[in-house]
Amino acid sequence: MRPAMRVVSGIQPTGNLHLGNYLGAIRNWVRMQDDMEEENRARAAGGNDADRNQCLFFLADLHAISMPHDPAELKRATLEMAAALVACGIDPQRSVLFNQAQVPAHPELQWLLNGTARMGWLNRMTQFKDKSGKNREGASAALFTYPVLQAADVLLYQATHVPVGEDQKQHLEFARDVAQKFNNDFASEDAPVFTLPDPISPPKAARIMNLRDGTKKMSKSDPSDMSRIELSDTSDDVMKKIKKAKTDPEPLPSEAKGLEDRPEALNLVTIYATLTESSVEDVLKDFGGEGFGKFKPALGEVLVETLRPISERFTDLLSDREALDAILARGASQAREIGRPTLEATYAALGLIR
Ligand code: TYM
């Protein structure tokens, strides 16, 4: 049997969970959690229970302070995002679910890794360029060193696999570079301190774009609410947003090639395909030749049906603050235990007396 997998991933609690996060990341997290659990059962049945697969999912609240933010809003968003993850199917009994701020080993390890991360590597990160825009000098130092914290997030737990969307792949490459250099510089070949994590991206189709501009990804930072579908949207909101989504006047083509220069149309078809677990080609078999007047209501309905049970659970969970606090406290305590040996090994490898 292959070695156990340690799956680790995070999401920033900045605003509500949107369809891009859900289809691009969270749904995949839930699948991995469920698959790992099934395999764990098989392992236990085979008498090989010692080495279990494990999933850790966290709210990257420490990353969220790299951009200007409102503290009350961050607190609210962190609780909401925790509720949203559980509503989507992350089960705190099976996965370790926590927020970074309750596990000081994350920023501690970041500092230790700052000695290994190179300025040249950080300078190449496209997210810093995107988020700082023309105001590089005014960007926070945290925004620049953000990838080092992200490296610490996964290296702390010896992650073997990190599910992320395409946009986070560069940060994962960075984490591998840091791990590799640290192991080379401070550990012997047969006893590396860090595992090199592999990014796992969901199928390409799961890149969900902005409803007002099909060339930009769907994101919580877009000022327009109409650009994204949020988990907390009512059915009416969802229908309205889909109806108003930008499109072109042409009917849908019958083959995927016909969507090449039509980013908005491609995005809507992609969302439909992802929700119904089919392919763009299959959707076009059904809707090729039809106009958006027919396709949009069909898409809206599939969306409403998918999101309804999630948004009901979300509302229930949010109304019990104590239960949410308890979930995060328990997850953080488990995370602290799991991360401790690696943190200690890092201090020791660097010659720091504890
Ligand atoms: P964040 O919070 O921006 O996004 C969380 C996850 O959702 C994916 N995603 C998308 N996928 C498809 N289409 C979209 N429109 C879309 N928008 C977001 C992201 O790729 C990501 O997988 N820095 C990270 C959080 C983080 C992290 C980590 C992730 C911090 N530490 C360690 C993995 C491992 C971020 O800001 O993701």
Same domain membership, residue 239 and residue 93: no
**Residue 44 — φ and ψ, nearest 5°?**
-65, -40
**Structural domain boundaries enclosing 145:** 6-206+321-349
Alpha carbons 205 and 279: distance in angstroms, whole number: 8
Same domain membership, residue 193 and residue 234: no
Same domain membership, residue 199 and residue 312: no
Same domain membership, residue 84 and residue 229: no
Same domain membership, residue 330 and residue 305: no
Could you tell me if residue 97 is inside a domain?
Answer: yes
Alpha carbons 291 and 342: distance in angstroms, whole number: 56
Structure confidence at residue 2 as a pLDDT band (50, 70, 90): confident
**Residue 7 — φ and ψ, nearest 5°?**
-100, 125
Residue tagged active-site, from 181, 220, 240, 246? 220
Alpha carbons 260 and 295: distance in angstroms, whole number: 18
Could you tell me if residue 120 is inside a domain?
Answer: yes
Q: What is the pLDDT of residue 45?
A: 83
Same domain membership, residue 332 and residue 310: no
Q: What is the pLDDT of residues 220-240, one digit of tens each?
A: 889 999 999 998 899 999 999
Q: What is the pLDDT of residue 309?
A: 94
Could you tell me if residue 93 is inside a domain?
Answer: yes
> Cβ(20) to ligand 1 under 6 A?
yes
Q: What is the pLDDT of residue 205?
A: 52
> Cβ(310) to ligand 1 under 6 A?
no
Could you tell me if residue 188 is inside a domain?
Answer: yes
The ligand 1 atom at the shortest distance from the C-alpha of residue 164 is: 22
Q: Is 131 a catalytic residue?
A: yes
Structure confidence at residue 172 as a pLDDT band (50, 70, 90): very high
Is the pLDDT score of 203 beyond 70? no
Lowest mean pLDDT, pick from 112-121, 162-171, 287-296: 162-171
Same domain membership, residue 329 and residue 188: yes
Q: What is the pLDDT of residue 354?
A: 93
Q: What is the pLDDT of residue 198?
A: 96
Could you tell me if residue 17 is inside a domain?
Answer: yes
Q: What is the pLDDT of residue 204?
A: 59
Q: What is the pLDDT of residues 237-256, one digit of tens each?
A: 999 999 999 999 999 999 99
Q: What is the pLDDT of residue 43?
A: 87
Same domain membership, residue 285 and residue 193: no
Alpha carbons 25 and 207: distance in angstroms, whole number: 10
Q: Compute CA 297 distance to the chain's CA centroid, rounded to the nearest angstrom.
A: 29
Same domain membership, residue 267 and residue 336: no
Residue tagged active-site, from 75, 129, 131, 169? 131
CATH number of the domain where residue 165 is located: 3.40.50.620
Same domain membership, residue 166 and residue 289: no
Could you tell me if residue 51 is inside a domain?
Answer: yes
Could you tell me if residue 339 is inside a domain?
Answer: yes
Distance 219 CA to ligand 1 centre (A): 10
Q: What is the pLDDT of residue 334?
A: 98
Per the structure, the count of domains in the chain is: 2
Is the pLDDT score of 206 beyond 90? no
Structure confidence at residue 32 as a pLDDT band (50, 70, 90): very high
> Cβ(59) to ligand 1 under 6 A?
no
The percent of residues in the chain predicted with pLDDT above 90, rounded, is 88
Alpha carbons 140 and 144: distance in angstroms, whole number: 7
Could you tell me if residue 214 is inside a domain?
Answer: no
Taking residues 281-308, report their average pLDDT: 96
User: What's the mean pLDDT when you consider all of the chain?
Assistant: 94
Alpha carbons 287 and 306: distance in angstroms, whole number: 20
Same domain membership, residue 83 and residue 69: yes
Nearest Cα residue to atom 25 of ligand 1? 11
Q: Which element (helix H / strand E) includes 272?
A: helix 263-275
Q: What is the pLDDT of residue 178?
A: 98
Is the pLDDT score of 84 beyond 60? yes
The percent of residues in the chain predicted with pLDDT above 70, rounded, is 98
Same domain membership, residue 120 and residue 17: yes
Alpha carbons 178 and 117: distance in angstroms, whole number: 6
Is the pLDDT score of 207 beyond 80? yes
Alpha carbons 87 and 258: distance in angstroms, whole number: 37
CATH number of the domain where residue 267 is located: 1.10.240.10
Lowest mean pLDDT, pick from 24-28, 120-124, 310-314, 319-323: 24-28
